Structure 1
């Protein structure tokens, strides 16, 4: 029987199944349906192949995409796709709840092939099909104003994974379109466009590190401003190794990069060795300022604190903005701190 014939047969079921009717007749029909099968005699009597074992299928309960369920089923039954009767029986075994109830409402002997079964199945649950996103969608979604670059990259990768047929070249172009034109990463991808998508994401990852540091510095700036305003004094300094986020100086590059550029300068002071049991320290985290394990250089408060002192002595001024210099002056004035040996803005080393 063709698929259209099956559909016609399903639509022409007795009316007493749909609207009730005599109770005894309805009960008799229900019992007959429970003892019968929608499959033809050939499918019912077909014996399973030797050494066939039931796979771990995801059961269908009506509330998921029927096409995705069929793809999942076919991929597990790839070695048995030519055995039509087996495909029908195993598919029916993995229906649950309302979907199983629907299956048993199909007329007895109406399904003679797996093709017919999939036709009536997808037609029944077509309203649960997931609308697939196309390539145009990827070009029409942009970075949110309050979204970090790292979160933006993560969201782009997730969206791209949901689009079938999106090759690397299209993804590279779409990713650039996601970015605001004033974004530094957009400028980098325009001036020196990477050759592959892997290179695009590698470049984006470098800028994400920088963006993370900027966000942390902005939060630290807000904390310090509030503390200066409310308490008229600098925020108390935590112990060495604590996160370097409670400072009001905003640097233009990550502080581990500053250390790499000034590590040989004579005015750089070496810190005291890290305390504690070395065997219990996290060897995945290395601090180049302490030259030891336990925390990252970017999280080293001792280095951040020393870096602030160096700025007040006129060093490392190329790593902060003019606005940050003015903030230092304002906060020091509020705290009545004495002037340092060298004036702000000095570039002498």
Structure 2
């Protein structure tokens, strides 16, 4: 037997089977490995027992001499004896129950969905796409999939990856903004104290009264000051038309986008069914985002 097996192949490196896991998986892995090295049927029958241990080894020792004539016959008896250890395969309807949880990121949802896909037997791609899309919450990814349905499951995952990166980038920006705001709030009292200490005192001698400004001059100064401070910035009336939706454009230029201002609308007055990936907050979607 050793002369027919390549010298660089060692059965000791093959994972042993003790009868507690799926026998079909072990059998197919062994068959594939041996056929890859060109081992004939007789070598498969002789080498297979060396991959067994525990209860599986005890089962092999009960086989009577002269009763096994091919590896297929041994495989059939092996699977029939350990059939109770097989993991039950789940149907496609199992994927329909997977939903994106409240507050769960798109990446975490897709990773959880892909793990469940591995447990489904003979899965159809159209069923997988419908199940993944049906489990999404109301976000820009769902809007994109409804607007243009993907070609296949691989195309869906590739498009979802773009939204995953955008979601993570906005989250990092939000965390950075929160850290800067927290650092700024902690330094405000010290800055205010230094500014008051650095403020120059009046050099007027004691008992000297400062000259009063005429009322008309004061009113004129206040009016001019109000125009400068309160005048709203000008806005354009006409904009160049975009060649893509407001949802797709930021994905292409997300590295050049400025940091969004914090939404000022009270949370109770916002539409919680809409989510803006630019602000990373509820209230509107990217198609309605005024800042974009």
Aligned-pair CA distance for 1:236: 5.8
Aligned residues of 2:44 and 2:71 also touching (Cα < 8 A): yes
In the alignment, what sits opposite 2:93?
A: 136
Pairing of 1:164-313 with structure 2 (within 5 A):
164-180=121-137, 182-216=138-172, 234-235=185-186, 260-261=256-257
Which residue is 1:52 aligned to? 5
* Counterpart-to-counterpart distance in 2, 1:192 and 1:144: 24
How far off its partner does 1:55 sit?
4.6
Counterparts of residues 2-81 of structure 1 (less than 5 Å): 48=1, 51-53=4-6, 54-56=9-11, 57-78=14-35
Q: In structure 2, what is the equivalent of residue 99 of structure 1?
A: 56
Q: Does structure 2 conserve the Cα–Cα contact (< 8 Å) formed by 1:74 and 1:81?
A: no
* Corresponding residue number in structure 2 for 1:322: 264
Which 5+ residue runs of structure 1 have no aligned equivalent? 1-47, 238-252, 263-306, 308-315, 325-346
Shift of 1:86: 2.1
* Structure 2 equivalent of residue 90 of structure 1: 47
Q: In the aligned structure 1, how far is the partner of 2:130 from the partner of 2:39?
A: 42
Contact 1:80 1:87 in 2 (8 A): no
Q: What is the aligned length?
A: 204
Q: Displacement, 1:194?
A: 2.7
Q: Select the residue among 62, 65, 72 that pairs with 1:115.
A: 72
User: Hey, what's the Cα distance between the residues in 2 that align with 1:148 and 1:52?
Assistant: 50
> What displacement does 1:99 show?
1.7
Counterparts of 2:186 and 2:35, CA distance in 1: 65
Q: Distance in 1 between matches of 2:254 and 2:61?
A: 72
TM-score, with structure 2 as normaliser = 0.56
Specify whether residues 95 and 214 from structure 1 end up closer, same or farther in structure 2 by C-alpha distance, changes over 3 A only. Answer: same
Assess, with a 3 A threshold, how the Cα gap between structure 1 residues 259 and 72 changes in structure 2: closer, same or farther: closer
Report the CA distance shift for 1:261/1:50 in structure 2 as closer, same or farther (over 3 A). Answer: closer
Q: Which residue of 2 aligns with 1:154?
A: 111
Distance 2:132 2:255 in 1: 33
Deviation at 1:218, TM superposition (A): 6.0
Structure 1 CA distance, aligned partners of 2:152 and 2:139?
A: 20
Tell me the alpha carbon deviations over residues 242-299 of structure 1, each in whole angstroms, 9 at most, x when there is no partner. Answer: xxxxxxxxxxx99x9577256xxxxxxxxxxxxxxxxxxxxxxxxxxxxxxxxxxxxx
- Give the 3 Å change call, closer, same or farther, for CA 89–320 of structure 1 in structure 2: same
Kept in 1: contact 2:150–2:156 (CA 8 A): yes
Counterpart-to-counterpart distance in 2, 1:122 and 1:213: 50
After superposition, the Cα gap between the structure-2 partners of 1:128 and 1:218, relative to the gap in structure 1 and judged at 3 Å, is farther
Distance 1:236 1:61 in 2: 65
**Alpha-carbon distance change, 166 to 152 in structure 1, aligned in 2, over 3 angstroms:** same
CA distance in 2 between partners of 1:258 and 1:236 (Å): 31
Alignment TM-score, normalising by the size of structure 1: 0.48
Aligned-partner Cα distance in 2 for 1:204–1:175: 11
RMSD between superposed Cα atoms in Å: 3.9
Structure 2, unaligned stretches of length 5 or more? Answer: 189-248, 267-289
